[in-house]
Amino acid sequence: MAEESRSLDYYKGLSVQALNAEIKREEGVLEDLGKRVDEIEDTIKTLEDAIVRERVSRLEERRAIRRETIRKLERDIAEREPKIRAIETAIPELEARARRIDISPTDRHITEREITSLKRSLARYRWWQETKRRSLGQYRRWQRERVDLETRLRALNESLANWTRERAEASASITHVRMELEKKREALPVAKFRLVEYVKFFDVIVRNSAKTPDISFELRGTFTIPSGLDPADPRVLSVIEDKLAGAFAGWGATRKVAYYQWPPAGPGQRYEPRYVEGVQRGYWFYTGTRTIHMENYEQREGTPYPKYGEEVAGETDTFISTVTVTIAKYKNKKALKGQTWTTSVTIAEKEFPEVPK
């Protein structure tokens, strides 16, 4: 039941996304096959021991050994049922996805390959269940009825032969998958871009240390970074910083959270610029009874929130020029339920510094 072997040129013709999905899928197949072989080896050892004991053990010893074998078979069958049901549920969902008209050719290819892989696993798991149920039935009957030694040994030897063939097939499948996996890894080009998720917290406007809790907004966006650049490079961070700040400023203006959206000062009220190390960071707003500190879009030193950072999320061969930015409101260091929005920014590859030669 091994998958069809493909040439190296075929794999080189796939996109980076499709190849990465294939590699991840086959790594999972290889892990699953390894677990199957371990289980088969355990089953073969149990059968070999049973054949010896059926020949030489006394009746009560045989019955005790059968009771333990029955419990083990029942446990194995019960443990596999949820996995079979999960695969049976997943296949129709993936088939429905593959039929959608809005799915990309690459995603359709990946989905169809996953369906094929799951169908193979399902067929094998069902065969195992049926084989183990037959063995379970035999052991239960041998506990209830007297069955002659020749019949018992014939049944055990037939079962042993079946599982020995299954071991050979599983081992051959492992060899095949490893060879295909090696070709896929060889065909995988060095990705042109990396997908990097950036996060930054911005302090916004109202901050009255006596009465008003800190208000901040978390911004997250996954940007496409040329592979030769370090995501932590200050030049890269500067580009992303500007994009996130611009996304927040545009969104904030429509939501009236930006300091410049506050109403004009009335009698006895005034605005005064607030400077930090010579750079304007916002305003002090004097109302006559209290002072409100309104910050610009900067992350305050000593903020209780995570620092501006990044996390590599994957690789791609396509530059993403429109980035979705998620904005979540925080108060008292906690995200507020239902206070999450999205906006978007555009970015061009040429905005990043040149990749070192």
In the prediction, which pLDDT does 4 show?
73
Dihedral sign of CA atoms 101, 107, 109, 110 in order: negative
> For position 164, which CATH number holds?
1.20.120
Q: Are residues 159 and 226 in the same domain?
A: no
Count CB atoms within 10 A of the CB of residue 313: 13
Do 211 and 65 belong to one domain? no
**Does residue 292 share a domain with residue 178?**
no
Q: Which of 130, 155, 187 is the last residue of a domain?
A: 187
Q: Model-level pTM greater than 0.95? A: no
Question: How far apart, in whole angstroms, are the C-alpha atoms of residue 19 and residue 15?
Answer: 6
DSSP string for 112-155 = HHHHHHHHHHHHHHHHHHHHHHHHHHHHHHHHHS---HHHHHHH
One domain, residues 229 and 290: yes
Count of the separate structural domains present in the chain = 2
245 pLDDT tier (thresholds 50, 70, 90): confident
Of 138-142, 299-303, 311-315, the one with minimum mean pLDDT is 299-303
- How far is the C-alpha of 96 from the C-alpha of 276, rounded, in Å? 57
The CB density around residue 83, as the number of other CB atoms within 10 Å, is 13
In this model, does residue 44 exceed pLDDT 70? yes
Query: How many CA atoms does the CB half-sphere of 217 hold within 13 Å?
Result: 28
Residue 5: how many CB atoms within 10 A of its CB? Answer: 10
Distance from the first to the final alpha carbon of the chain? 47
Distance CA 233, CA 247 (A): 21
Q: How far apart are CA 206 and CA 202, in angstroms?
A: 12
Distance CA 298, CA 277 (A): 13
Residue type, 106: T
**What pLDDT was estimated at residue 279?**
67
Residue 280 has a pLDDT of 64
Residue keyed to tokens 């930090």: 276
**Non-local CB neighbours of 276 within 8 Å, separated by 6+ positions:** none
Mean pLDDT, the chain, integer: 81
pLDDT above 50 for 257: yes
Distances from the Cα of 78 to the Cαs of 73, 124, 129, 132, 166, in angstroms? 9, 16, 9, 11, 21
Query: Is 302 within a domain?
Result: yes
Q: What percent of the chain has pLDDT over 90?
A: 25
Which pair of structure tokens corresponds to residue 160? 């042993």
pLDDT attached to residue 248: 81
Choose the final residue of a domain: 142, 157, 187.
187
Secondary-structure breakdown of the chain: helix, strand, coil percentages, each rounded to the nearest 5 = 55, 20, 25
Residue 199 φ then ψ, to 5° = -135, 140
| Cα radius of gyration (the chain) | 32
Instruction: Indicate if the alpha-carbon torsion angle 42, 48, 52, 57 is positive or negative.
Output: positive
Question: Where is pLDDT greater, at 64 or 213?
Answer: 64
Q: Is residue 212 part of a domain?
A: yes
Domain extent for 278: 193-351
Q: 218 pairs with which residues across the strands?
A: 201, 328
Residues 37 and 155 in one domain: yes
Q: Where are the beta strands (DSSP E) in the chain?
A: 193-203, 215-226, 270-276, 279-286, 291-295, 309-316, 322-331, 334-346
Q: Backbone phi, then psi, for 304, in 5-degree steps?
A: -75, -5
Whether residue 219 sits in one domain with residue 83: no
The pLDDT tens digits of the residues spanning 94-125 come to 999 888 887 877 788 888 888 988 998 898 89
The residue from 165, 187, 209 where one domain ends is 187
Going by the DSSP 8-state scheme, the letter that residue 4 receives in this structure is P
Give residue-wise pLDDT tens across range 138-174: 999 988 888 888 888 999 999 999 999 999 999 999 9
pLDDT value at 210 more than 70: no
Least confident of 212-221, 261-270, 293-302: 293-302
Q: Is residue 260 part of a domain?
A: yes
Residues 146 and 223 in one domain: no
